[in-house]
Amino acid sequence: MYPISDLFTKYLKESGRNFLVKAEINGTEYGNDVVVEFTVDNSLVLGEEFEIGTTTLSELIIKLRTEDEIPPNARIVPYLALTLPPQYAGAEQAWQDVNVAWQDAGFLWGGAVTEWLPLGEFFVDSRERVNDTWVYTCFDRLVWADVAYVSSLTYPTTQQAVWDEICGRLGYVYDSSVGINPAFQIQAGPAGYSMRQVLGYIASANGASVFVGKDGVIKFRRFVSSEPTVFEMTASDYIRAATVNPVKTYTRVVVTYNTEDGLTYEAGTGDDNHTLYVENPFATQTITDALFAQLNGFSYQPVTMDARGFPQIEAGDRIRFGQAVDSPAWQDADTAWQDTAYSWDGFIGGGITLALHMVFSFKGGLKMSLEAPSKSEQQSEFVVEGSLTQQVNKINRDAVWQGKSYFGVTVTRTDGLIVEREDHASKAIFNSDKISMQAGGVDKIYFDPVSGKYKFNGTLEASDGVFSGTLSAANGSFSGTLVAANGTFTGTLVGVDGEFSGTISASTITGGTINGTTITGSLIQTSASYPRAAMNNASNLFGAYKDANNYIEMNSNYIGAPVINVASSGAIRGQVGSSSGGTNDLFVSASSILNLRSGGDIYLDPGVSGGKVRTSWSELIDGAITLQSELNDKQGSADAWTSYGYNLTFDPSTRNLKMFNRFGSQIAIVNIP
């Protein structure tokens, strides 16, 4: 019940009270001269029975006589206050007649106005002009929750975390009445539900319903079997009170967590008339047991009532109604026991009911209608369906409904067939214009109807798979590892900074222009078997091989200078290269004597100490005999060479010894230090 002052409470009981009304609309106040009338409809039930987990919208219909333009979604808060005429006997009291403490006395002497009591916070939904008045239909802020809930939480998570995420997104403020069991969890992201539905499911798991208070704050109305009454109404407070069924009591709870297959949890015992049915996809047996412990024995008197307006009553309040009487003391009772019907708590008749549906109507005065519906025992046990109801139920069983989720599969008018995971991490859309596989709300595999192409957005991986046909990537990029085991690429494959692992087979590999293509690798060879030529990044940089024992290769010597090795029968027989890496350094060596000759004229003998050049096996060139003199002396031998078609010349300026064949081509050159 909404808190009000003692003065407001007192004035409500006075028959001569007068109501004042005003409405605050987007920060502007309109008084009695503008507000013609209004009705406020508050409800915690949707059907003919008590239920939990509801999130019913409260509705305001207000008539204003104004030419001001009220914008769409404008915020409207109606207020009430009370006053008594100055001449009314109860309006002024002597000091000695006031029975409240001074600090608690809110009396306004002389018939002044009480505080203003809000009747809720509403937002304009539609409007209609009737003669010279505007009629606005408005709903409370729960209307903003009628949007799809796509959670960003990591599941499983607590119901409290989900509740806070939704309220945070909608800007809702809730008070201490919202009590959520910290142990209750939601295992997967709710798919296909609105935020308002999820709020209701969380409330039902905790034995409550959701409503917006008169101050615009989100609240729980939590029901407990042993709860006390918060308001009492005597016969003078209501015009009519009719009990429509016997007292309703619940001793069993059945929670349906899968409506398609009718899967349920239950606790307690009792027939249908004593069973509370709840629908909650997040329910567990633990939640069901907790509901039973909370609601076992919960009861109320079904009633319809027309009464004076008590605007402090809120949806779901427990109310006692009946005739107030003064019961005599035991010693004063003068009737037989069996004839005595005294009510020791001061009430006879009536009972205890719930304000499950209330309507406040203002037309100069305030009227309240209250309803606590229930099905009769016969309706609960034997449901008689008419022919139309039977056909509708058959359609509900057999038809696929637009917008309804079936195990994550939904059919909608705009998208066609939708398959979505519960936590919204992935989604598939199928229709004639769009085929899309989404992850995180982004198209990953989809058909583009404009270009008429199927597109991939992400990583395409075929582990142990086979692609047949043509794989074309026009102006595209491959990043990561592209593996094609036993695959064939036809056409042109262009890759910038790519890597291939495994075997690449091709009849022809063509590079670009000069200096335009770089091939880098550890081994490049003409054949996997002998004979072959090969280049690699090991010590043998380049070579031509007849087999493993007979070859010519470019290598490096012990100081890293390049040399050419000539090998036969598995052993290196000679080398040509640089001994020190200098610019004018060239050496020719052999395993024994290096013979540069045609018929055997000049020998380079490494076996002689220091190395010698000799013109015969017994003659050595030393300091006393110059090479030039020896060459001159051997002119005859040179002539003999010429007769065989060879020619040997020596250039003293460069100290180069050159040999030419009979065709004039130089076949050897040696620099003599």
Percent residues over pLDDT 70 in the chain: 66
Q: Cis bond leading into 156, ω under 30°? A: yes
- Is it the case that residue 394 has pLDDT exceeding 70? no
pLDDT at 652: 76
Q: Are residues 416 and 343 in the same domain?
A: no
Judge whether 262 lies within some domain. Answer: no
Judge whether 351 lies within some domain. Answer: yes
pLDDT at 241: 86
Q: What is the mean pLDDT of residues 364-385?
A: 75
Q: What is the mean pLDDT of residues 168-195?
A: 93
- Is it the case that residue 129 has pLDDT exceeding 60? yes
Which residues does 537 contact at the CB level (< 8 Å), separation at least 6?
521, 522, 523
Q: 3-class secondary structure for 30-71? A: ECCCCEEEEEEEEECCCCCCCCCCCCCCCEEEEEECCCCCCC
Average predicted confidence (pLDDT) for the chain: 78
Burial of 631 (0-12, 13-18, 19+ CB in 10 A): buried
pLDDT at 90: 45
Q: What is the mean pLDDT of residues 30-52?
A: 92
Burial of 518 (0-12, 13-18, 19+ CB in 10 A): exposed
Instruction: Tell me the two tokens of residue 551.
Output: 């070859």
Judge whether 585 lies within some domain. Answer: no
pLDDT at 528: 83
Q: Are residues 376 and 392 in the same domain?
A: no
Alpha carbon dihedral 496, 502, 507, 509, in 10-degree steps, equals: 20
- Is it the case that residue 641 has pLDDT exceeding 70? no
Local confidence band at 97 (pLDDT 50, 70, 90 cut-offs): low
Judge whether 451 lies within some domain. Answer: yes
Judge whether 163 lies within some domain. Answer: yes
Q: Are residues 59 and 82 in the same domain?
A: yes
Q: Are residues 419 and 350 in the same domain?
A: no
Local confidence band at 89 (pLDDT 50, 70, 90 cut-offs): very low
Q: Which of 5-14, 20-29, 381-390 has the lowest mean pLDDT?
A: 381-390
Q: What is the pLDDT of residues 473-530, one digit of tens each?
A: 555 555 555 555 555 555 566 655 666 666 666 667 766 655 656 677 678 888 888 8
- Is it the case that residue 382 has pLDDT exceeding 60? no
Give me the number of domains the chain comprises: 4
Q: Domain of residue 560: give its range.
A: 520-580
Q: Are residues 243 and 134 in the same domain?
A: yes
Q: Are residues 636 and 615 in the same domain?
A: yes
pLDDT at 149: 93
pLDDT at 74: 95
- Is it the case that residue 18 has pLDDT exceeding 60? yes
562, 556 contact by CB (below 8 A): yes
Q: Are residues 529 and 488 in the same domain?
A: no
Q: Are residues 88 and 214 in the same domain?
A: yes
pLDDT at 81: 94
Judge whether 310 lies within some domain. Answer: yes
Q: What is the mean pLDDT of residues 250-278?
A: 92
Pick the last residue of a domain from 475, 504, 533. Answer: 504
DSSP 148: B
640, 628 contact by CB (below 8 A): no
Q: Are residues 20 and 98 in the same domain?
A: yes
Distance CA 251, CA 102 (A): 48
Distance CA 489, CA 122 (A): 67
Distance CA 59, CA 53 (A): 19
Distance CA 301, CA 316 (A): 13
Q: Which amino acid is at 283?
A: A
Q: What is the mean pLDDT of residues 604-608?
A: 53
Judge whether 569 lies within some domain. Answer: yes
- The CA-based diameter of the chain, rounded to the nearest angstrom, is 173
Pick the last residue of a domain from 352, 381, 410. Answer: 381
Q: Are residues 142 and 204 in the same domain?
A: yes
- Is it the case that residue 599 has pLDDT exceeding 50? no
Judge whether 289 lies within some domain. Answer: no
Local confidence band at 654 (pLDDT 50, 70, 90 cut-offs): confident
Residue 215 sits in a domain whose CATH number is 2.30.300.10
Pick the last residue of a domain from 504, 528, 555. Answer: 504
- Is it the case that residue 669 has pLDDT exceeding 70? yes
Q: Are residues 367 and 396 in the same domain?
A: no
Q: Are residues 43 and 149 in the same domain?
A: yes
- Is it the case that residue 469 has pLDDT exceeding 80? no
